[in-house]
Amino acid sequence: MLSMTGFGNGEGTRGPVKVTVELRSVNHRFLDVSLRLPGPLATYEFDIRKFLKDNVARGRVTVNAMLEREGTEGPAGIDPERLDLAMRTLTTLAVRLEKETGRPQQVSLADLLRVPDLLAPGGQESGGEDLQGALMDALEAAHRELLAMKTAEGDALVAEMNGRLDTLSVKLAEVQKLAPLAAVEIQAKLEERLTKLLEGRDQLDPQRLAQEVALIADRANINEECERLGIHIESFRGALKEGGQVAKRLNFLLQEMHREVNTMGSKTNLMPITQAVIVMKDEVESLREQVQNLE
């Protein structure tokens, strides 16, 4: 079982190229990847996204990559691909601005020099294979560290959720023990009220009165809700033990558990049961919040 929250750092070195990658993951309903890459590594954005899609189920993942090259004592060079892209982009903007303002616009050398990473460091050149290899090595190392942290936090979440399930089970046992008393109390109160309302009326049929009271008392019976809640608790435990990506299944079980607990509370006014129901509602809500942290 994995948490969605974690951090990982990794390095990769190929030839004169050294890449450092940081991965930060926080909660999100789906997989949402945000990249911060230096110019030479931007070419491999697709490779990074594919790797994360294959290895991360969901969460907002921020990727921060840094690039270092050895042997930068030589003259600086120009990245031809980046130069072409910069020229096309700036020219397009100049044409559009000229149309909107009516003033002639020209792309100058100063404009080009403002483009980030246009000038590559001099010295020993590194090919695309070195860049890509160092990047993927660093990404894999960062992911291993991220996975270790997410696993540790996931284990802690599972332990805490099992503790809350224990509390639910204890309170459910209390309610099951009190349920017969609740039925007797409801029946007694109904008989007392109806007797007072119909006192002195000759047409009152004691047998019919007893039947109506029994019917109303039966509607207040919470045995079925208790049984279903017990089944849901055990199913929840089983899903936690099974592990993997079970967040959707757990959310469904929590909806059903919330429904059963609410029904118990609405069917009886016996104070000890009401108090137990309040505790169970709190535990179910806490479980719901914790499940949102699971990948």
3-state secondary structure of 244: coil
Are 140 and 10 contacting, i.e. CB atoms less than 8 angstroms apart? yes
Nearest to 160 by CA among 11, 291, 49, 65: 291
Q: Yes or no: say if 19 and 134 are a contact pair by the CB < 8 Å rule.
A: yes
Mean pLDDT by 10 residues, the chain (295 residues): 94 94 94 93 94 94 92 57 78 85 82 68 60 95 96 94 96 91 71 67 60 63 91 95 88 96 87 93 96 90
- Residue 135: closest CA among 13, 7, 6, 8: 13
What sign results for the dihedral spanned by CA atoms 97, 101, 102, 107?
Answer: negative
Structure tokens belonging to residue 50: 């594919």
Instruction: Please state, in angstroms and as integers, the Cα–Cα distance from residue 224 to each residue in 220, 246, 255, following that order.
Output: 11, 26, 17
Longest dimension (CA), the chain: 115
pLDDT of residue 269: 78
Which pLDDT score is estimated for 225?
Answer: 92
What pLDDT was estimated at residue 123?
A: 44
- H helices present in the chain, as ranges: 45-55, 80-101, 109-113, 128-197, 206-219, 223-242, 247-267, 271-291
Contact 263, 222 (CB under 8 A): yes
Q: Check if the beta carbon of residue 134 is closer than 8 Å to that of residue 14.
A: yes
